[in-house]
Amino acid sequence: MDRRRFLKTLGWGGAAAMLAGGYTVFIERNLVQMNHYRIPVPALPKAFENFRMVHLTDLHLGFLVSKSFLKGVVNKANNLKPDAIVCTGDYVHDRNSTQEIDTVWPILMKLKAQYGVYSVLGNHDHWADTKRSLYWLHRSGQNVRHTNKAIYKGKGRILIGGAGDFWEDALNIDQCFSSSDEGDCKILLAHNPDSMDTDFKTPISLTLSGHTHGGQVSIPFYGPPILPVNNKQYSSGFIETKKGNLFISKGIGWAIYPVRFNCYPEIAILELIAVS
C-alpha cells in the first residue's frame, strides 16, 4: 500500500471511529425505547392477570441527562396509563451533593398510576446523600424500602416490597415481607440484582432490578463486556433464578461511560401473567 492510500485508509478509519463515537454518546443514549415484556409470576391472583406495570430505573439525572429529558420520560410513562409504576433507584448521578436529589424528586412525584407508584433507592442515591434521598423517598409517598404495600384488585392482592441497596444499605428482604401471609404474591424491588444471591428465606414471586444498564454496550454474538455485578448472568431481561423470577431493566441513564451501543435505554412495560 502506497503512502497516499495508507493515509486515505487511515482517514476513513478515523472518520468511522468518530461517527461511531458520536452515535454512542449523542444518539443511541437518547433513544428511549418502550419495551413490552410478558412476565410469568408464581402465585399471581386471577384478578391480576395481565396487570401492567411500568418499570423505571437508573435515571441518573446529571451530566448529559437533563431535567427536561427526564420530564419527557415521566410523561411517556404516564401516557402509557399503567396499572402501577415501580422505580428501582439511582435517580441521580453526582456524589456528595443534594442539588440533583432536590431536582429529580419533584419530577418523580409527577408519576401517576391507578394502583400507585412504588420506589426504592440505589447506590448513587446514597452516594449523593442518604439522608436527603430518604427524605424525598418518604415525602413522595412512594416508599417501600424495608416494608411492603398491598395492592387490592377484585378478590386478590399482591404485595410490593422493597429491599435496601445491596452496596450501601441493609437489604432486609425478610423484614420487608414479615407481615405477609404464606400464600401472598410477593413482588420485590431491589436495585441491584445481586440481591437475589443473598441469604433470605421469604419466597419471592418476582424481583425487579436495575443497576446493570444492560452493560450499556452489547457486542453482537458476545454480549456486554462489562457488568457492575458479581453474578455476570445478571445483564438484562427476564431470568429464572434459584430464589425466584427476576427482571432487570436496561434503565435510562448512564454510569462510568456516557455511551450506549446496541443497548437502548428503556421504559419497561411488564404484563404480569400467572404461571400455570
Question: What pLDDT is recorded for position 2?
Answer: 60
How far is the CA of 112 from the CAs of 28, 83, 257, in angstroms? 27, 9, 31
pLDDT digits (tens, 9 = 90+) for 98-151: 999 999 999 999 999 999 999 999 999 999 999 999 999 999 999 999 999 999
pLDDT digits (tens, 9 = 90+) for 251-274: 999 998 999 999 999 999 999 999
- Do strands 84-87 and 52-56 pair parallel, antiparallel, or not at all (unpaired)? parallel
If you count them, how many residues does the chain have?
276
How far is the CA of 118 from the CAs of 33, 85, 98, 137, 257, in angstroms? 22, 6, 22, 10, 29
Question: Does pLDDT of 10 surpass 50?
Answer: no
pTM of the model: 0.92
Q: What is the Cα–Cα distance from 176 to 182, expressed in whole angstroms?
A: 14
pLDDT digits (tens, 9 = 90+) for 22-54: 788 889 999 999 999 999 999 999 999 999 999
Mean pLDDT for all residues in the chain: 93
Handedness of CA 76, 82, 84, 89 (dihedral sign): negative
CB-CB contact of 29 with 259 (8 Å)? yes
CB-CB contact of 148 with 162 (8 Å)? yes
Residue ranges per structural domain of the chain: 31-274
* Angle in degrees, 0-180, between the axes of helices 123-140 and 99-108, rounded to the nearest 10: 50
pLDDT digits (tens, 9 = 90+) for 190-221: 999 999 999 999 999 999 999 999 999 999 99
Q: What cell numbers appear for 272 in the block?
A: 404480569
Angle 206-203-192 from CA coordinates, rounded to 5°: 50
Helices (H), 147-190: 173-176
CB-CB contact of 178 with 201 (8 Å)? no
Q: What is the Cα–Cα distance from 203 to 185, expressed in whole angstroms?
A: 9
Task: Supply the DSSP string of 62-96, one letter for each residue.
Answer: BTTB-HHHHHHHHHHHHHT--SEEEE-S--B--SS
Exposed / middle / buried, residue 7 (Cβ in 10 Å: 0-12, 13-18, 19+): exposed
Report the side by side order of strands in the sheet with 266-274.
33-41, 266-274, 52-56, 84-87, 117-119
**Local structure of 252: helix, strand or coil:** coil
At the fourth CATH level, the homologous superfamily of domain 31-274 is: Metallo-dependent phosphatases (3.60.21.10)
pLDDT digits (tens, 9 = 90+) for 220-251: 999 999 999 999 999 999 999 999 999 999 99
E-strand stretches of the chain: 33-41, 52-56, 84-87, 117-119, 148-153, 156-162, 185-189, 206-209, 237-241, 244-248, 266-274
